[in-house]
Structure 1
Amino acid sequence: MGDPRGVLLINGVLITMLGLAMLIPALVDLALNHPDYAAFLSAAVITLFCGGALIASTYRRGIQLTVRQAFILTSSVWVVLPAFAALPLVFCELRLSYTDAFFEAMSGLSTTGSTVITGLDDTPPGILLWRAILQWLGGVGIIVTAIAVLPLLQVGGMQLFRMESSEQSDKALPRAAQIAAATAIAYLVLTLACAAALFMASVPAFDAIAHAMTTVATGGFSTSDASVGGLENDAAEWIIIIFMVMGSLPFVLYLQAIRGRPMLLWRDTQVRWFFITVGTGIGLVLLLTSLLDRDGSALEALRLATFNTISIITGTGYATSDYGSWGRSATALFFFFTFIGGCAGSTSCGIKIFRFRVMFESARVQINQLIRPNTVMVPHFNGRPLETHVIDAVMGYFFLFAMVFGMLAFLLTLTGLDLTTAISGAATAVSNVGPGLGNIIGPAGTFQPLPDAAKWLLAVGMLLGRLEFLTVMVLFTRRFWRG
């Protein structure tokens, strides 16, 4: 591994930032005279002490990370931060067990959106805000990881989006650090715009801010047990639909649009495929369910189908209705929607559109070569030839995704879960979506009744899915540690 001080130092900086973030809900609870402010202050003190100690003991100038250390850093950060983020949930009046608190924190930072908390409508405001902050921080962290880290590590075909390309036209900004900073600004602007739009749609200020943070992060934590349906506001639902889509598009292309190249957003292959997929999904839901036959307008049926389809495809996980009651065909559709995801370089989750596009192009070329074996054909993505190692990386990702999903579903059945809960729970964890299927973890339920062993397994699934599997699994190979 070499000198570990660089890895420990960056962990310390991020832990310290998390501790400072805990002061925000503490101030909110203090202003509202709620006793939970002491829980956040206590957690902040512990977190700041540990983060400061790491910084003080490892700081030196000119630290350079190797590729091996980058793998270790990426995985360690997503384990350490939820461990500290869980502390306020343990200390607050909810008195969650550490298992439940870690599950909630991992679900928040990975923007999965699965929850073990019931009675959200009566939950203290500090806790609701903390959940939203976790998803907001997780969302921006995911974008930076997808843009600046995973392409360098050549994980799962993400090298397609490497910013250090030799062609100047590929660079949104000259350096990855500048890209990350500009992306964070775009992320903040989108969040503020979403909050302002919700507020103007008569959503209370606190709910508008909390939902804006979790919408742009495509996270799905809400302030009500009924999720967005609890707002009872049609205009707010359409606003959230727009911003869920915006959070699922590549943020680098937003930077290109700001710099005077807005058409690049539409010319991007995965963006076009994303909109085609979403449109097809909405059409199938309307066609195969009885939404149009219910008492209500066609616009209401369109809103229900659009909101819930986009919510699951993008991995946001909000709900305005229990789509599990829309019939078997709808249940099957939403199960498959769980795996799709949005675009690379966004806050979205799942397998992601670009991988489906790469596999489609590869399959198309192979089929055509069977018909014309003497013809030389090369698969393309965004008008450029796909290199063999990129296709191999995508195929490896598909294999690992299927393997982890199957293994996790099997292990969940060993904890006593029924087959529907186990399979949908595994799918929603590795795809970072949120709600599963069935009466327990469906859109009308929570993960609270699950045994502790199942919650730890699902937390591991969230971590693996969020970090694209290979980033974590490479740490368990002997060659990685041999040097």
Structure 2
Amino acid sequence: MIDLRPINASLGILVTALGTMMIVPAMVNLVHGDPNWIGFVASALVTVFIGAMLWLTGRQAEPGRLSIRQAFLLTSLAWIVLSAFGAIPFMLSRADLNFTRAYFEAMSGLTTTGATVLSDLEIVSPGVLMWRSLLQWYGGVGVIVVAIAILPALQIGGMQLFRTEFSEKTEKVLPRVGQIANGILGAYILLSLACAGAYFAAGMSTFDAVNHAMTTLATGGFSTRDASIGAYASPAIEYIAIAFMIAGALPMLLFLRAAGGDLRALARNTQVRLFLALVVLLTFASMAQQRLSGINSGEESFRYALFNITALITTTGYSATDYTHWGAASDALFFFVMFLGACTGSTAGGLKTFRLAIIGAVIVQHLKRLIYPNGVFRIRYGGTPIGDDVVASVMSFLFLYLLTFIAVAVALGVMGYDTLTALSAAVACLAGVGPALGATVGPAGHYGPLNDAALWLLSFAMLVGRLELFTVFVLLLPRFWRQ
């Protein structure tokens, strides 16, 4: 049997931290004269109490040391359990959500997806809006720590390529997660403050600036307005959002290295260069599509193209305009971009640019072998040869990713949803984008019209997509649970 004590201790700390955070929206409601602050206080008391009980059951475990199987189980349970507790304030608030919809909203927040079942956000309780933003901000920190400290040691989807001094392949993992988390949290807070200050200077209210700063850096996309960033009709705010969405999609460790004096760390990084190249290329493609369709022109065409491409490839999901009216060619382009994702070690979801680079290298290698059957060709990433284990891991991830996408889309189709809704909602939740395509779940819509079965399915898609698929699916193997 797996020793659950260290898992309980870790979960207890995470749950207690989540419960403590509930005091913030309670204070926001209190300041705004909203009586719903009582619901947040009650949620906080329940959550902190259970978190403390979990910690007490595991406090005698060896601190900071988890086996490989314990790390797999903890990683999945963290998002499942935290989403359950994160749902409580939604049920006790005037949002009046049942458990299914509250859980979907919380899972969307903690996985930084940004899909929502709420509408008329302008009249939603300010505490609820703040809670959604806090969930994404908290989830964003967790995503980065998992991507840097856990997944490389577990060799998930080629992530062993990013094994660092913080995450060595041994029987024990998480030896120095505290150091990683502290450094990342510091950089995360500074960037969030800078983003909030920029939004405020550009014309947002203090409340809106703080909320959008948290969801921008988390590449989550929750907004305080139904029309998202487009509600402000401000080019300055849109450009600020673009800059900080890109910042949130870059490896956070590189910001720490830059702060430590290595100012060229970002410029030298292979996946950063590829990511930025994709943003530029796809922006020009979107501009060309707009020009051919006679939709926008000049600076507006550039701004909308850059904003929408950045929002999708970083998996933030903000919208500045309803691009679903741009025609089928635009839908096809944006549907493709949803799959891509940004850099490993960031808050973004999707396939990730390093995997795209390796997949491209595998294709080129195969083409070379067709021309030179006896040739020896090594696959390289960033100029360095990579092992067959990394290639196999990446290709396995790609296969499972596409298989999961197809399964979710087909299931939604069987439930009666139209093809565009089924396909785009499947990839939007799996990749962590949030808003999809079409009138129902597109940038001008929300997931509220979907039935409970569809919401549970998409909650699962958000979970497995956020945790790189294998982390969750390995728990389904009977062998995992054997001694």
Is the alpha carbon distance of 1:291 and 1:115 closer, same or farther for their aligned partners in structure 2, counting shifts above 3 Å? farther
Contact 1:331–1:437 under 8 Å retained in 2: yes
Q: Find the residue that maps to 2:146 and give its secondary structure.
A: helix
Question: Which residue of 1 is the match for residue 385 of structure 2?
Answer: 385
Q: 1:306-351: CA deviations, max 9, x gaps? A: 1111101110000011111001100100000100000000011100
409-418 or 269-278: bigger deviation? 409-418
Contact 1:307–1:320 under 8 Å retained in 2: yes
Give the drift of 1:67.
0.5
Contact 1:315–1:341 under 8 Å retained in 2: yes
Contact 2:150–2:167 under 8 Å retained in 1: no
Is the alpha carbon distance of 1:178 and 1:166 closer, same or farther for their aligned partners in structure 2, counting shifts above 3 Å? closer
Q: 1:234-289: CA deviations, max 9, x gaps? A: 10110010000011111111111112212121111111110111111111111112
Question: Which residue of 2 is the match for residue 191 of structure 1?
Answer: 192
Q: Find the residue that maps to 2:66 and give its secondary structure.
A: coil
Give the drift of 1:374.
3.0
Is the alpha carbon distance of 1:166 and 1:403 closer, same or farther for their aligned partners in structure 2, counting shifts above 3 Å? closer
Give the drift of 1:175.
4.6
Give the drift of 1:356.
0.6
Q: Which amino acid aligns with 1:457?
A: L
Is the alpha carbon distance of 1:85 and 1:429 closer, same or farther for their aligned partners in structure 2, counting shifts above 3 Å? same
Is the alpha carbon distance of 1:197 and 1:276 closer, same or farther for their aligned partners in structure 2, counting shifts above 3 Å? same
Contact 1:290–1:326 under 8 Å retained in 2: no
Q: Which amino acid aligns with 1:219?
A: G
Question: Which residue of 2 is the match for residue 275 of structure 1?
Answer: 276
For 1:321 and 1:278, locate their aligned partners in 2 and report how far apart those are by CA, in whole Å. Answer: 18
Give the drift of 1:414.
2.1
Contact 2:83–2:106 under 8 Å retained in 1: yes
Question: Which residue of 2 is the match for residue 435 of structure 1?
Answer: 435
For 2:414 and 2:114, locate their aligned partners in 1 and report how far apart those are by CA, in whole Å. Answer: 24
For 2:96 and 2:402, locate their aligned partners in 1 and report how far apart those are by CA, in whole Å. Answer: 36
Give the drift of 1:291.
8.1
Question: Which residue of 2 is the match for residue 11 of structure 1?
Answer: 11
TM-score, with structure 2 as normaliser = 0.96
Q: Following TM superposition, where does structure 1 have runs of at least 4 consecutive aligned residues deviating by more than 6 angstroms?
A: none
Q: Which amino acid aligns with 1:112?
A: T
Asked if 1:31 is matched to 2:28, the reply is no
Contact 1:147–1:180 under 8 Å retained in 2: no
Is the alpha carbon distance of 1:165 and 1:383 closer, same or farther for their aligned partners in structure 2, counting shifts above 3 Å? farther
Q: Which amino acid aligns with 1:74?
A: T
Asked if 1:118 is matched to 2:106, the reply is no
Give the drift of 1:436.
0.9
Q: Which amino acid aligns with 2:361?
A: E
Contact 1:400–1:469 under 8 Å retained in 2: yes
Q: 1:108-151: CA deviations, max 9, x gaps? A: 10000000001001111101100000000011110000000110
Give the drift of 1:61.
5.3
Q: Find the residue that maps to 1:416 and give its secondary structure.
A: coil
47-56 or 61-70: bigger deviation? 61-70
Q: Find the residue that maps to 1:289 and give its secondary structure.
A: helix
Question: Which residue of 1 is the match for residue 41 of structure 2?
Answer: 41
Q: Which amino acid aligns with 2:312?
A: I
For 1:68 and 1:77, locate their aligned partners in 2 and report how far apart those are by CA, in whole Å. Answer: 14
For 1:344 and 1:317, locate their aligned partners in 2 and report how far apart those are by CA, in whole Å. Answer: 18
Question: Which residue of 2 is the match for residue 216 of structure 1?
Answer: 217
Give the drift of 1:57.
2.5
Q: Find the residue that maps to 2:340 and give its secondary structure.
A: coil
Is the alpha carbon distance of 1:9 and 1:280 closer, same or farther for their aligned partners in structure 2, counting shifts above 3 Å? same
Is the alpha carbon distance of 1:378 and 1:165 closer, same or farther for their aligned partners in structure 2, counting shifts above 3 Å? farther
For 1:79 and 1:276, locate their aligned partners in 2 and report how far apart those are by CA, in whole Å. Answer: 35
For 2:327 and 2:372, locate their aligned partners in 1 and report how far apart those are by CA, in whole Å. Answer: 44
For 1:277 and 1:350, locate their aligned partners in 2 and report how far apart those are by CA, in whole Å. Answer: 14
Q: Find the residue that maps to 1:358 and give its secondary structure.
A: helix
Matches within 5 A, 1:426-465: 426-465=426-465
Q: Which amino acid aligns with 2:401?
A: F
Q: Find the residue that maps to 1:338 and give its secondary structure.
A: helix
Contact 1:286–1:292 under 8 Å retained in 2: no
Contact 2:122–2:226 under 8 Å retained in 1: yes
Matches within 5 A, 1:245-264: 245-264=246-265
Q: Find the residue that maps to 1:6 and give its secondary structure.
A: helix
Question: Which residue of 2 is the match for residue 363 of structure 1?
Answer: 363
Question: Which residue of 1 is the match for residue 57 of structure 2?
Answer: 57
Q: Which amino acid aligns with 1:189?
A: L
Give the drift of 1:184.
1.5
Asked if 1:201 is matched to 2:190, the reply is no
Question: Which residue of 2 is the match for residue 171 of structure 1?
Answer: none
Q: Which amino acid aligns with 1:255?
A: L
372-381 or 434-443: bigger deviation? 372-381
Give the drift of 1:164.
2.8
Question: Which residue of 2 is the match for residue 478 of structure 1?
Answer: 478
Is the alpha carbon distance of 1:118 and 1:478 closer, same or farther for their aligned partners in structure 2, counting shifts above 3 Å? same
Contact 1:358–1:391 under 8 Å retained in 2: yes
Question: Which residue of 2 is the match for residue 406 of structure 1?
Answer: 406
Contact 1:155–1:393 under 8 Å retained in 2: yes
Unaligned runs of 5+ in 2: 169-174
For 2:460 and 2:92, locate their aligned partners in 1 and report how far apart those are by CA, in whole Å. Answer: 23
Q: Find the residue that maps to 1:345 and give its secondary structure.
A: coil
The percent identity for this pair of structures is 46
For 1:49 and 1:185, locate their aligned partners in 2 and report how far apart those are by CA, in whole Å. Answer: 28
Asked if 1:240 is matched to 2:266, the reply is no
For 1:165 and 1:319, locate their aligned partners in 2 and report how far apart those are by CA, in whole Å. Answer: 37
Q: Which amino acid aligns with 2:346?
A: S
Q: Which amino acid aligns with 1:434?
A: G
Q: Which amino acid aligns with 1:140?
A: V
Q: What is the number of equivalent residue pairs in this alignment? A: 476
For 1:56 and 1:199, locate their aligned partners in 2 and report how far apart those are by CA, in whole Å. Answer: 43
Q: 1:31-53: CA deviations, max 9, x gaps? A: 22111101101111111111111
Unaligned runs of 5+ in 1: 168-173
Contact 2:317–2:434 under 8 Å retained in 1: yes
47-56 or 124-133: bigger deviation? 47-56
Asked if 1:230 is matched to 2:231, the reply is yes
Asked if 1:131 is matched to 2:132, the reply is yes
Contact 2:166–2:180 under 8 Å retained in 1: no
